[in-house]
Amino acid sequence: MKRLQIGIESAKLANGLDVVVAPDTTAPVVTVAVYYKIGFRLEPQGRSGFAHLFEHMMFQGSANAPKMQHIKLVNSSGGMLNGSTSYDVTNYYEAVPSNALERILWLEADRMRALKVDAENLRNQRDVVKEEVRVNVMNQPYGGFPWLDMPPVAFRNWANAHNFYGDFADLDAADLADVQAFFKTYYVPNNAVLLILGDVKPEEGMTLAKKHFGDIPAGAPPPFADPTEPEQTEERRGTVEEKFGTLPAIAVGYVLPKRRTADWCAVALLDQALHGGRAGRIHRELVQEKQIAVEAGGGIDDLFGYNGPSQMTTRIIHKPEYSSQATLEAFDALIREVQQNGVSSDEVEQLKVKWRSDYYATLEGGRGGYMPKYGLMHLLACFTLFDHDPQLVNTILDGFLAVTREEIQAVANKYLRNEKRAIVFRTPVKASAPSDKKEAA
């Protein structure tokens, strides 16, 4: 078995900024990212969607690089850029030919040091974000299902339960003072990690990082709202109307163990057993064998990147001749099966080989065919911000490869419990006429 070893250098600057450099000369390309430890969960109440709106504002101008210049400078250096907001982190990243490395570090440092935006920029991006929400959610069949539908049903703490894309009224209420306060609180070097991956020498990366980021003053340690959930003791259910699609859909989410606890690796392999593509039990049973579902899949979203309450969520779009009840019963039957009989030793070996293969793909892989090293970047950032240990990228695989079939069965019984789950029914307004109702065998 050939193991992959990633060379990594890391350091913490005097202002608290973590720097991680991972050299690789496969291509004359360097990927630069800054991750801030702030996501949807921690945005202020009354300002739902603000963490994401703010992410857009980070492209609107900084002290020495006004509006349009961030995008222009990256593209005209031969590179691509983007940013994204998730539950616990927000990232900004660029992949550029390596001769543009210093320019990109200068740009990221400029916007970490001082954001310079005006009311017109905010109006503009508020409009853009509303169209983003429309194109991804409000004007799409099954838009936001289940990533936006599930939290308000599953969780009780506002941090975990609110609308992450934002209610339009909250987006409208956001003003420049909110933008600057959020920036000042969370966008400080001691709440961030800088990553430089690819065609760079370790000492070159570290020297340039110090040169451009070293004099950005540290801020007060940011306050973190407590995302703890009260203990869930009963199954939770909710219904959301589907405006465009004509097939009924169900999402079932089970609360996950905390990341990097003893059960975490076993749950990840259980997830693979259930949701691992066409060989996974959920697709095999519901789509191929019982033929109840048109689509069935899902699983743990971003195993390495969550740092608060999260779920393993199955997403099922089913044929109209099966009732929601019958579909859920078929799903429950396959959960009971794994609880009662576990997985065979042959299956667990298959799961581990696939896990290793997928892990390598993550380390190498880009994002949607662009942005080289996106996967490695994301893992290094999360291991640095949450675990203070970027070297985990080379060792974490061992924990998954050591999981036993007994452990998989044990976590199936411990976590896949009705009183620990939430169910969302997405119900079409214009339902397809069922040919004839069937109950699942």
Q: Which of residues 306-325 bind other proteins (CB under 8 A)?
A: 317, 319
Choices 15-23, 96-104, 231-239, 418-426 (CB under 8 A): range interacting with other proteins: 96-104
Q: Could you say whether residue 112 binds other proteins (CB under 8 A)?
A: no
- Looking at 83, 202, 222, 365, which residue binds other proteins (CB under 8 A)? 365
Q: Could you say whether residue 366 binds other proteins (CB under 8 A)?
A: yes
CB of 247 to other proteins, least distance (A): 7
Of the candidates 13, 121, 129, the one whose C-alpha atom is nearest the C-alpha of residue 62 is 121
CA 256 – CA 415 distance, rounded (Å): 7
Within a 13 Å sphere around the CA of 76, how many CA atoms are in the beta-carbon half?
A: 7
Q: Could you say whether residue 68 binds other proteins (CB under 8 A)?
A: yes
Q: Could you say whether residue 77 binds other proteins (CB under 8 A)?
A: yes
- Looking at 176, 181, 353, 402, which residue binds other proteins (CB under 8 A)? 353
- Binding pattern for the stretch 251-280 against other proteins, x by CB under 8 A and - elsewhere: -------------------------xxxx-
Q: Could you say whether residue 395 binds other proteins (CB under 8 A)?
A: no
CB of 119 to other proteins, least distance (A): 11
CA 167 – CA 266 distance, rounded (Å): 37
Tokens of 157: 């703490």
Helix, strand, coil in percent for the chain, rounding step 5: 45, 20, 35
Q: Which is nearer to other proteins, 77 or 157 (CB)?
A: 77
Q: What angle do CA 317, 321, 322 make, to 5 degrees?
A: 60
Q: Could you say whether residue 52 binds other proteins (CB under 8 A)?
A: no
Q: Could you say whether residue 64 binds other proteins (CB under 8 A)?
A: yes
3 state DSSP class of 350? helix
Q: Could you say whether residue 403 binds other proteins (CB under 8 A)?
A: no
Q: Is residue 146 reached through a cis peptide bond, with omega within 30 degrees of 0 on the bond before it?
A: yes
145-184 residues in contact with other proteins (CB under 8 A) are: none
- Looking at 114, 119, 135, 333, which residue binds other proteins (CB under 8 A)? 135
Choices 172-180, 326-334, 354-362, 400-408 (CB under 8 A): range interacting with other proteins: 354-362
- Looking at 49, 79, 205, 299, which residue binds other proteins (CB under 8 A)? 79
Tokens of 96: 């550029």
CA 310 – CA 338 distance, rounded (Å): 21
- Looking at 432, 434, 437, 439, which residue binds other proteins (CB under 8 A)? 432
CA 381 – CA 230 distance, rounded (Å): 29
Of the candidates 84, 208, 234, the one whose C-alpha atom is nearest the C-alpha of residue 154 is 234
Listed in sequence order, the residues at least 6 apart from 346 whose beta carbon sits closer than 8 Å to its beta carbon are none
Whether 200 contacts 98, CB under 8 Å: yes
Phi, psi of 47 (to 5 degrees): -130, 45
- Looking at 7, 46, 78, 221, which residue binds other proteins (CB under 8 A)? 78
Listed in sequence order, the residues at least 6 apart from 207 whose beta carbon sits closer than 8 Å to its beta carbon are none
CB of 212 to other proteins, least distance (A): 9
Q: Could you say whether residue 119 binds other proteins (CB under 8 A)?
A: no
212-251 residues in contact with other proteins (CB under 8 A) are: 243-247
Q: How many residues bind other proteins (CB under 8 A)?
A: 91
